Amino acid sequence: MAKAVSKLQTAYPSASGRVSGHACNLNDEATLESNLAALLDKTTSQASNPLDHAVFTAGDALASAKLAEVDMAFIKKAGMVRFFAPMLLGKLLPAYLRPGPASSFTITTGAVSEHPIPDWSVVGSYASDATVGAGLEAAESQSDQSWGRRDGALGWSAGG
């Protein structure tokens, strides 16, 4: 992470003082929501410096298995980072985003959402419109919301 932060600071010297990196474990069901809240608290100074935009691009190793072989534990683990994390982020974000038409939350997916791959039934389900709910719920807390899906990304903005 330090290398990525350094590259950004070098690329944008006028903003280097505002560029930082924070690790966040998205793969632990027991602490997922509190980890996200802690990340948002750090990046917004306890919501006193609200965000204008949030973009969720996190991913983990893709879980592939024949559908006949999956069980509930596999399904939950496969969706922890790619489904549950953005859903909970959508729940938490309204308290950390600047209200108004300039704020946005974008969730990215991949090609598997549009072009299914054999043995990726679980991941494909999570990558499809399953994450739309997170964006819609977050948008409902804003006024004059609008949302859309394009090219594997879901985004919402508060305002027209």
pLDDT at 109: 77
Q: What is the DSSP string of 26-54?
A: -S-TTTHHHHHHHHHHHHHTTTTS-BSEE
pLDDT at 31: 97
pLDDT tens, 64-120?
A: 889 899 999 999 999 999 889 999 999 999 999 998 888 888 888 777 767 777 787
Q: Which domains occur in the chain, in start order?
A: 48-158 (3.40.50.720)
pLDDT tens, 28-77?
A: 999 999 999 999 999 999 999 999 999 998 888 888 889 899 999 999 99
Task: Tell me: pLDDT of 152 over 50.
Answer: no
pLDDT tens, 118-147?
A: 787 787 777 775 555 444 444 555 444 444
pTM of the model: 0.77
In sequence order, what are the residues at sequence separation of 6 or more whose Cβ sits closer than 8 angstroms to the Cβ of residue 65?
74, 119, 122
pLDDT at 129: 57
pLDDT tens, 14-26?
A: 998 888 899 999 9
Q: How many helices (H) and strands (E) does the chain have?
A: 6, 4
CA-to-CA separations, 128 to 58, 82, 121, 139, 144, in angstroms, rounded: 15, 11, 11, 19, 25
pLDDT at 157: 42
pLDDT at 57: 87
